[in-house]
Amino acid sequence: MYDIATDHASALTAALLLLLFVVAFVGGLRFLSARRVAWAVRVTHVYEAAPSITKLAAALMLLSGGIHLALVPGHEGITGVLFVIDGLGFIVFAIAAFLTTWWRRPAVLWLAATILAYIVWVIAGWETPDQIGIACKLIELVALGLLMRLANPTRRTWPRRLWRATSFPLMACVTTLGIWVGGLAHPDALHAHAGALLQPVAAVATPEEQRAAAKLLADTRASIARYQDPAAAIDAGFKPSPVSNADPLRHFVNSANANAVLDPKRPQAVVYAQTTHGLQLIGAMYQMKRAGQWGPDPGGPLTQWHQHEGICFSPFGFEFSFETPFWTCPVGSTSITTPPMLHVWIIDNGKNGPFAADLDKAVQRQLTGRP
């Protein structure tokens, strides 16, 4: 559902190097302390005296700070400046955790502000949510939870306890919702919509690909014309999907055509719209047998396959939902990825075109009377 942005890839290397540096630094300190090097003994004592939660929180903030600084070269303007400030701030708080007593509350505010700023950035479209950004927010959420756990127990009045019991889950939910909204409102080049990963293709179709795409459309339209009446499709072996109020489209699937590969005479499914006048045939769907097995694309970028990933499937009611950006599904459901599929719309599909992953929203409203 979320890829790794090209300008974020360097953060993976930075995170790995930073982890190796921290391990080597702690090991070096202990080595020098064992040999009675004065400054190493003092630093090691301070480090060893800190609670385990403090050490983990400091390590997570240091990791987030290193990732932010590694992302600076790929970001210009205010975003790059904020990454510098954010990265240095996290490093300062990671060091202050072992040297001061005042660091916890400012660090909590810094973490919360950073997470909220990211949500604003992705919803506004100034930053695209990807696996690096999401992982960084997960790191910061864990650090935030650890710092809240470090609160002084003698000051835990019931309002403070209520706040600490609700604030962290609320922040996690807001972060997840914000990333979802950003991904849905501003899909990247490989995603037609949440969960739909498009087949990598060339940017521009050649004249031969344009002719091949036109032929595929014409052949599909001619082949499925006999299924204008849904009863004819059922007689031919197509089984209708369950009626759903959430989805105004219905796919009639023919398992006998499962092994066919982009054969207009044997589509894996025909697609109907649920209109006020009954079911109306609007297209066909071709599908491969396995996830990741992209089908032939005679039309190049015009006939681009897509597969749905990050989908949570529940056997109770056969309902689908999207995974959270942190790749978790509701209890009782499991994540699935569908085999690649290609829709061919035999009606005018507006700005989306005849091979789009989705039916154009305006066309859908016109057919079904629903958004």
DSSP of 191-225: BSSTTEEEPP--SS--HHHHHHHHHHHHHHHHHHG
For residues 190 and 3, the answer to whether their CB atoms sit within 8 Å is yes
18 is written with which tokens? 């930073």
Q: How far apart are CA 78 and CA 67, in angstroms?
A: 17
Q: How far apart are CA 148 and CA 63, in angstroms?
A: 19
Answer whether residue 220 is part of any domain: yes
89-144: pLDDT as tens digits: 999 999 999 888 888 889 999 999 999 999 998 888 787 777 788 888 999 999 99
Identify whether residues 213 and 180 lie together within a single domain.
no
More confident residue, 157 or 31: 31
Q: Are residues 170 and 291 in the same domain?
A: no
How many angstroms separate the CA atoms of 333 and 314, rounded? 4
Cβ-contact 71, 8 below 8 angstroms = yes
In the predicted structure, residue 192 carries a pLDDT above the cut 70: no
Is 32 found in the same domain as 157?
A: yes
Q: Which residue has the tokens 């809240």?
A: 148
Domain-located, residue 190: no
pLDDT tier for residue 201 given thresholds of 50, 70 and 90: low
Strands (E), the chain: 196-198, 239-240, 249-253, 269-275, 278-287, 306-308, 311-314, 319-322, 334-336, 341-345
Whether residues 349 and 316 share a domain: the answer is yes
| CA–CA dist 351, 6 (Å, integer) | 28
Q: ∠ CA(214), CA(217), CA(220), 5° rounding?
A: 145
Domain-terminating residue out of 185, 207, 224? 185
Q: Residues 141, 24: one domain?
A: yes
Classify residue 191: in a domain, yes or no. Answer: no
Q: How many residues appear in the chain?
A: 371
Give the pLDDT score at 189.
Answer: 44
Same-domain check for residues 220 and 86: no
Do both 42 and 165 map to the same domain?
yes
Name the residue range of residue 285's domain: 196-368
Q: State whether 170 and 94 are in the same domain.
A: yes
Same domain, 202 and 180: no
Tell if the pTM clears 0.85, that is, is over it: no
Give the up-direction half-sphere exposure of residue 339: CA atoms within 13 A in the CB hemisphere: 12
What is the per-residue pLDDT across 221-276, written as a single tens digit (0 to 9) for each?
Answer: 999 999 999 999 999 999 998 776 667 889 999 999 999 999 999 999 999 998 88
What percentage of the chain has pLDDT greater than the value 90? 33
Instruction: Kindly state the helix (H) or strand (E) to which residue 256 belongs, with its residue range.
Output: none
Q: Are residues 177 and 302 in the same domain?
A: no
Token code pair at residue 182: 């950003």
* Residue 39 burial class via C-beta count within 10 angstroms: exposed 0-12, middle 13-18, buried 19 and up: exposed
